[in-house]
Amino acid sequence: MCWISWDKLTLPKSAGSLRFIEIEEFNDALLAKHTWRLLKDPSSLLGQTLLNKYCCYEDLLTVSAPSSASHSWRGILACREIIRKGMGWVVGDGETIKIWREDWLSTEEQARPVGPPTLSSQNLTINELFRRHSTEWNLEKIKLHLP
């Protein structure tokens, strides 16, 4: 017998409810938190254990689940999309960000240059678009390589 509706039970405590939560959303949030921790601290005990077992040849954001993967690992992989939606680049020195393969153009959305890269610019990194010994953009190089 239900004496109180679910909508009333899930209201905030300040509104007089018991503050029950949506368990699926709560579980997704916890798994996304574990995924973020693995990305930020791969040298932790959990990171060493899981990443050495499942991510030997690929990184966490691109690896696929083997058929022998544990239920926990499959859950972590399922929550990568939550992390991807909120991720962005801090360009820094730009040595590791590939111009044509990474989303680096916007802080609002995932965006990369559009158009086919030339053969000479296929493997360019962002640092090659900076002025020498500076973090200022070299507009001539940008106009040369990007549409």
Cα–Cα distance measured from residue 110 to residue 97, given in angstroms and rounded to the nearest whole number: 14
Residue 44 domain-assigned (yes or no): yes
What average pLDDT does this structure show over 123-133? 87
- Report whether pLDDT(97) > 90: no
Ranking 6-20, 26-40, 107-121, 122-136 by mean pLDDT, the lowest is 6-20
Residues in CB range of 51: below 8 A, 6 or more apart: 38, 42, 60
Report which of residues 81 and 91 the model is more confident about: 81
Same domain, 76 and 129: no
Domain that holds residue 15: 9-86
E strands within 1-147? Answer: none
Instruction: Using the predicted structure, report yes or no on whether residue 106 has a pLDDT greater than 80.
Output: no
User: Which residues lie below 8 Å from residue 141, measured CB to CB, with a gap of 6+?
Assistant: 128, 129
Q: Which of these three, 86, 106, 126, is where a domain ends? A: 86
| Co-location of 117 and 74 in the same domain | no
Q: Is the pTM of this model over 0.85?
A: no
Averaged confidence pLDDT in the chain: 84
Q: Of 52 and 135, which is predicted with more confidence?
A: 52
